[in-house]
Amino acid sequence: MKIKLFTISFLFLLIITSCKFSHEPKVVVSIASQQYEVIKSDELSPDAEIDSIISIYKKGVDSIMNKVVIYSKQSMDKSKPSGPLDNLITDAMLSEINKVVDMPVDIAFYNYYGIRQIMPKGEIVIGNIFEILPFENQTTLVHLNPKGMRAMLHYIYRTGGQPISGIDITYIDSLNYKVIIGDNEWDSTKYYWVATSDYAANGGDNMNFFKESDSIFYTGVLLRDNLLNYIDIINTNGDSLEADTLLRVRFIEENRKTTKR
């Protein structure tokens, strides 16, 4: 049975030109199109030559993706208000980016839905890290002003928690909260350097508070590379991954309703 999948139209532009290079503007003199039916048939068989070419590259990719980078004692998943995988990713972001930039970065903030897979228990391969952080997002530094900091805190409250590092938040309600940044209480008059993704820094997922800054710095360092480097150091020291289940976002009020996005 043959099924029509789609048609492709080709646009042919016939351009008046000469054999010699000319600066004269080109002019479209005619347009023609023709439909071609692309079909799917059960009678079609794999092309052995094409498969052999693909297999060469597949072996190379598999040899990289299947490389074991560390052993994890537990499986880790993202969670709200805080979760072990949230903590691991943002800890890696904060630790690694502070090694490559001159300014002291205070906070790491990542968007919850950017974490796409769990960290399984057992041997962790590079492919697992690509599944967890599949996007080519780069670490971006934002110098957030007091207004932006307050808006970020409200966003974390409104969304029921987000992955964070370097900051500890206890919410009494949407307007009252206790915030510790590093080892100090939050100074509501101060600017803070926040490490996040370029997606978030550009206002993705309604994170417009990152626009409240006087400086933004795109580091070019992929978030995934932060995690790989962080894990490599743990593994080199002869340690395994252990889940950090400490809550970094807490809600004291009862029956709090989280706004769904």
Q: What is the pLDDT of residues 51-83, one digit of tens each?
A: 777 776 676 787 789 999 999 999 999 999 999
Q: Hey, what domains does the chain have and what are their CATH numbers?
A: 3-53 (no CATH), 67-251 (3.90.780.10)
Confidence of residue 201 (pLDDT cuts 50, 70, 90): very high
Q: Write down the pLDDT at residue 24.
A: 53
pLDDT at position 7, please? Answer: 34
Residue 254 banded pLDDT, cuts 50, 70, 90: low
What mean pLDDT do residues 201-226 have?
A: 94
* Residue-level pLDDT at 46: 79
Note the pLDDT of residue 203.
93
Mean per-residue pLDDT, 198-202: 95
Centre a 10 Å sphere on the Cβ of residue 250 and count the other Cβ atoms it contains: 15
Mean pLDDT to the nearest integer, 235-240:
96
**pLDDT class of 11 with cuts at 50, 70, 90:** very low
Question: What's the pLDDT at 26?
Answer: 60
Mean pLDDT across 84-91: 98
Q: What percent of the chain has pLDDT over 90?
A: 70
Instruction: Name the average pLDDT for the chain.
Output: 86
pLDDT for res 58: 72
pLDDT at 81: 95
pLDDT of residue 111 exceeding 70: yes
Tokens found for residue 152: 């970020």
Per-residue pLDDT at 217: 94
